[in-house]
Amino acid sequence: MSNPVLAEVFRANLVESRHRGAVAVADADGATVLAIGDVATPVFPRSAVKALQALPLIETGAADRYGFGDEELALACASHSGEPGHVAVAERMLASAGLDASVLRCGAHWPMSQAAATELARRGEPTALHNNCSGKHAGFLCDACGIGVDPTDYWRPQHPVQRHVRGVLENLTGASLTDARCAIDGCSVPTWAIPLQNLAVGFAKFATGRGLSPERARAAARLRTACAAKPWHVAGTGRFCTEIMQLFGARVFVKTGAEGVYCGALPELGLGIALKCDDGAGRASQAVMAAIIARFLPLSDAEQAALARFTQPSLRNWNGFEIGAIRVTAAI
């Protein structure tokens, strides 16, 4: 079993590197619209399912209780760049539940944004607020406080918050999330391996509400609206998820995950998308996601032109010389 090459990295006119992977596109009834490579073996979706992990925050009433708007809800779905605006919203979310950064258990890392990291280095050191997952963790903590349970161990698999998340993931994807499929994510919460086919169906449900309880469908719509309204809060300056959602608004939802995963939704078509590059390469998975959007979504000439820099990104060296490009293969 060998997945096809989905993207090639050119230096001058020669292929320097190549990325294999698998792609699933499905509707909310479970019908496969596109399957490239192995879409049946479970893969860790990592941060690509943050929007599904954020559904309990709304379903429990915690988001309303703490008066969360689009910025807070988008940040709860985010792998953010640790820019000052991201940090401020995470802090605000925690403060609304009477908490501060000391309760975050995601660990600290330097902001993904080089500019934010440089600016921070001039003043101090990173905290857990700068972790790209701090919005998700703030959401978990607010959820715990909202339902009146001790938030201390909010990140452990057996905590009510994570049990609720697990149930949501099983409901949307139809996958059985056994302990044998559970691992620890980069930010220490559980991550369960789920087949791409199931993830695509899950995001089709997220996109449409079909097959979900009315309450869950409303929560999904509210998260999609928040991410479409505040795409900068979902990632950050110059990031793929942000720029794609700035370009397409509510027509496209996309979310990156570590190790080459991307999940997405095309609500007007009722489709969900899930893909992974075998080797974990983000540069390839985002080019492939852009190509999948281009393949399915009806685009104006202007949109097609705008999308080209994501489907065929040019590569530049430290002097800014164009030295090559990434090209998605005919497999897509």
List residues near a copy of itself by CB under 8 A: 2, 9, 11-14, 16-20, 42-44, 105-110, 114, 117-118, 121-122, 131, 180-188, 191, 193, 259-260, 277-281, 284, 317-321, 323-324
At its nearest, how many Å lie between a copy of itself and the CB of residue 300?
34
Burial-class residue 327 by CB neighbours within 10 Å (0-12, 13-18, 19+).
middle
Per-residue DSSP letters for 101-114? GGG--S-----SSH
The total number of residues written for the chain in this structure: 332
Terminal-to-terminal C-alpha distance of the chain: 18
Q: How far is the CB of 272 from a copy of itself (least distance, A)?
A: 21
Rounded to whole angstroms, how far apart are CA atoms 49 and 156? 17
Q: Are 326 and 10 in contact (CB under 8 A)?
A: yes
CB of 260 to a copy of itself, least distance (A): 7
In the complex with a copy of itself, which residue's Cβ is closer, 180 or 302? Answer: 180
Query: Measured from the CB atom, is 17 or 225 closer to a copy of itself?
Result: 17
Tokens of 193: 């391996």
151 vs 186, beta carbon nearer a copy of itself: 186
Nearest of 175, 174, 193 to residue 183 by alpha carbon: 193
Give the shortest CB-141-to-a copy of itself separation in angstroms. 16
| Distance of closest approach, residue 24 Cβ to a copy of itself, in angstroms | 17
**Cβ atoms of residues 25 and 296 within 8 Å:** yes
Q: Smallest distance from the beta carbon of 199 to a copy of itself, in angstroms?
A: 15
- Alpha carbon of residue 155 to chain centroid: 18
